[in-house]
Amino acid sequence: MDTKTLGSQRAAAAGEMLVDQLSAAPAVETAETPDPVATDRAAWLELLSEELLAELPLEAWRKLFLGADYEGIRFAQQTTTLLCADAPGPEWSETDVRMLATRLGGWVERHAGQLVMAFSRPRAALEVALLLQRSSSQRLRCALRTAPMVTATFELDGETRRLTLGHAARAARACADNAPPGSVHLCAATWRAVGAAALERLTQSALVTTEYQGEEVTSAFITLPPPPRAALSTFAGLGLV
């Protein structure tokens, strides 16, 4: 059995364990209001158009914005946790990532280049981030951001897609770009939503650093131990390897 196949099997097994752990976990209550920005619908349509024009082939953009599916574009606001990260290694195919997100009540917004996933449960997002870090052959840069966000839902080539828009989504992607390899950055809202007990259990083998303003945590980084054969390590300068 080659290394890629073994890694894929281990990733799949880890994913199944994660689903079992979270199946009984209560979802974070969110107040969802259909089309909360009805008066600004034109502005959100313009923003969605700009995002997709940069991502899609022109013909696909035309089919959505100039075709019959245009009237089906919907916007809704709810508290969401975005997971942004480098695309994982070959252990995780795009199909595996999408299946994992779906089973945990989330969805994948982007996969090529930078991975963007969205969840209604912050703890589920953190568990997935740590799972991807531990099972990937490369050191990923990850960030979690929890906030009220506007999400567009639309049909594209017969598939229902969702895309989170606005400042919070851009900030989450930027945080991942600036995170050290091998770490997961948590905003203050994600830190509070996950809770101290879950954080202590999930980060027993990790280095956790926090930033404070007064007595309030403003952000945190969770850095996992490197693989045993890693040539370079975030921990090396700390004497932990």
Domains and CATH numbers, the chain: 3-183 (3.30.70)
140-197 pLDDT, tens digit per residue, is 999 999 999 999 999 998 899 999 998 988 998 999 999 999 999 999 999 999 999 9
pLDDT bracket for residue 9 (50, 70, 90): low
DSSP string computed for 109-154: EE-SSEEEEEES-HHHHHHHHHHHHHH-SS--EEEEEEEEEEEEEE
Cβ(92)–Cβ(171) below 8 Å: no
C-alpha 12: how far from chain center = 18
- State how far the Cα of 136 lies from the Cα of 159, in Å rounded to an integer: 28
Tokens encoding 230: 């890693």
Q: Which of 32-41, 47-56, 136-145 has the lowest mean pLDDT?
A: 32-41
Predicted pLDDT of residue 2: 52
Average confidence (pLDDT) over 196-216: 92
Q: Does residue 234 register a pLDDT over 80?
A: no
Centre a 10 Å sphere on the Cβ of residue 3 and count the other Cβ atoms it contains: 10
Q: Which of 18-22, 100-104, 120-124, 233-237 has the lowest mean pLDDT?
A: 233-237
Q: Does residue 131 register a pLDDT over 90?
A: yes
- State how far the Cα of 91 lies from the Cα of 227, in Å rounded to an integer: 15
Q: State the chain's mean pLDDT as an integer.
A: 83
Predicted pLDDT of residue 226: 78
Q: Does residue 44 register a pLDDT over 70?
A: yes
